[in-house]
Structure 1
Amino acid sequence: MILDKKQNRTVSIIALILALGFVILADTVFSSFSRRIFNLCGIYIILALSLNLLNGFTGLFSLGHSGFMAIGAYVSALLTMSPAQKSMNYFMTPIVPILANVELPFIPALIIAGLTAALAGFLIGTPVLRLRDDYLAIATLGFSEIIRVVLTNLQPVTNGALGLKGLPKYASTYMIWALVFLTVVFMIALINSAFGRACKAVRDNEIAAQAMGIHIARVKILSFTISSFMAGVGGALLGHLMSTIDPKMFTFSLTYNILLIVVLGGNGSITGSIIASLIVTISMEALRFLDGPLNLLLFRTQGLPGLRMVVFSALLLLVVIYRQEGLMGKKEFSWNRILDAGLIKKLLGRGGA
Structure 2
Amino acid sequence: MMKIEKKENNLVKNAVLIIIFAAIIVLLDLDIIGDNYVRRVLNLAAIYAIVSVSMNLVNGFTGLFSLGQAGFMAIGAYTVAVFTVPVEARKAIFYIVPQSPLVANIELPFFVALILGGLLAALVAILIGMPVLRLKSDYLAIATLGFSEIIRIVFTNTKTITNGALGIKSIPQMPTMWVFFGAMIISVILIVLLINSSYGRAFKAIREDDIAAEAMGINLFKHKVLSFAIGAFFAGIGGGLLASLLGTVDPKQFYFTMTYNFLLIIVLGGMGSISGTVIASFVVTVGLEVLRFFDDSLVLFGYEVPIFRAGFRMVIFSILLMILVLFFRNGLMGQKELSWKMVGDFIKGKKSPKKNRKGGAA
- Normalising by the smaller structure, the TM-score range is over 0.9
Q: Residue 166 of structure 1 is aligned with which of 167, 170, 188?
A: 170
1:144-155 matches, within 5 Å, as 144-155=148-159
Q: Which runs of 4+ in 1 moved over 2 A?
A: 295-303
Normalised by the length of structure 1, the TM-score is 0.94
Partner amino acid, structure 1, of 2:25:
V
TM-fit CA distance, 1:323: 1.8
TM-fit CA distance, 1:14: 1.5
Q: Residue 236 of structure 1 is aligned with which of 224, 240, 260?
A: 240
* 1:286 matches 2:290: yes
Partner amino acid, structure 2, of 1:136:
L
RMSD: 1.9
Percent identity between matched residues is: 49
Distance in 2, matches of 1:227 and 1:299, equals 51
SS of corresponding position for 1:331: coil
1:58-77 matches, within 5 Å, as 58-77=62-81
Equivalent residue number for residue 315 of structure 2:
310
Gaps of 5+ in 1: 344-353
* 1:324 matches 2:326: no
Distance in 1, matches of 2:255 and 2:272, equals 25
Q: How many residue pairs align between the two structures? A: 343
Distance in 2, matches of 1:99 and 1:290, equals 45
TM-fit CA distance, 1:283: 0.7
TM-fit CA distance, 1:297: 7.1
Equivalent residue number for residue 29 of structure 2:
27
* 1:86 matches 2:86: no
Partner amino acid, structure 1, of 2:19:
I
* 1:262 matches 2:266: yes
Equivalent residue number for residue 209 of structure 1:
213
Distance in 2, matches of 1:115 and 1:104, equals 15
TM-fit CA distance, 1:295: 2.9
SS of corresponding position for 1:165: coil
Equivalent residue number for residue 129 of structure 2:
125
Normalised by the length of structure 2, the TM-score is 0.91
Q: Residue 179 of structure 1 is aligned with which of 163, 179, 183?
A: 183
Q: Residue 341 of structure 2 is aligned with which of 336, 344, 353?
A: 336
Partner amino acid, structure 1, of 2:324:
V
SS of corresponding position for 2:171: coil
Change (3 A) 1:256 1:52: same
Gaps of 5+ in 2: 349-362
Partner amino acid, structure 2, of 1:17:
I
TM-fit CA distance, 1:253: 1.5
Equivalent residue number for residue 250 of structure 2:
246
Partner amino acid, structure 1, of 2:321:
L
Equivalent residue number for residue 276 of structure 2:
272
Partner amino acid, structure 2, of 1:107:
F
Check conservation: 1:96, 1:156, Cα contact below 8 A. yes
Check conservation: 1:68, 1:235, Cα contact below 8 A. yes
Distance in 2, matches of 1:272 and 1:322, equals 15
Partner amino acid, structure 1, of 2:180:
I
Check conservation: 1:171, 1:240, Cα contact below 8 A. no
* 1:8 matches 2:6: no
